[in-house]
Amino acid sequence: MLTIPKKFVDDMIDHAKSESPLECCGILAGKEETVTHIYKMKNTENDPDKYFMEPKEQFVAIKDMRAKGIDMLAIYHSHPHSPARPSGVDIKLAFYPDAIYIIVSLMDAAKPVIKGFLIKEGKVEETAIKIN
């Protein structure tokens, strides 16, 4: 099960809040199933209903992970005003079947919800996340 230290969960929520009403996006990386690094990335979309990770930053992050010997474990993005479940477009554009797609929902601003999903060939399956 993917284990995320609480500080990274707080980082994702802070990132989501700071970009709201736009979506935020980023990468969680680590070894085996434990997150050790967060990459808060730039979303190039100016539309509150879309995200597109800045390609240059994505490339730099991939190289950095390779240099550190860690793997991309999860891809996160926020839903500022909708529930924590992948939209049709999220499913269609999920090109990383090995990564867990994390969605941070700010629909209830007082109680952000974080959920993880595996998305493979259009099929979505929720996967449990351990926060410690």
Partner 1 sequence: MPVKVKIPTPLRKLTANKGEVEVDGKTIGEMIENLEKSYPGLKERLCDEAGAIRRFVNVYINEEDIRFMQGKDTSLKDGDEVSIIPAIAGGNIN
Backbone angles phi, psi at 52, to 5 degrees: -150, 110
* Closer residue to Zn ion, CB minimum distance, 69 or 88: 88
Residues within the interface to Zn ion (CB under 5 A): 87, 90
87 is an interface residue for partner 1 by CB under 8 A: yes
Measured CA to CA, the distance from residue 27 to residue 94 in angstroms comes to 14
Measured CA to CA, the distance from residue 132 to residue 130 in angstroms comes to 6
* 46-85 positions binding partner 1, by CB under 8 A: 47-53, 55-56, 58-60, 62-63, 75, 77, 79, 82
55 preceded by a cis bond (ω within 30 of 0): no
- The site for partner 1 (CB under 8 A) is made up of 23, 25, 27, 41, 47-53, 55-56, 58-60, 62-63, 75, 77, 79, 82, 86-90, 93-98
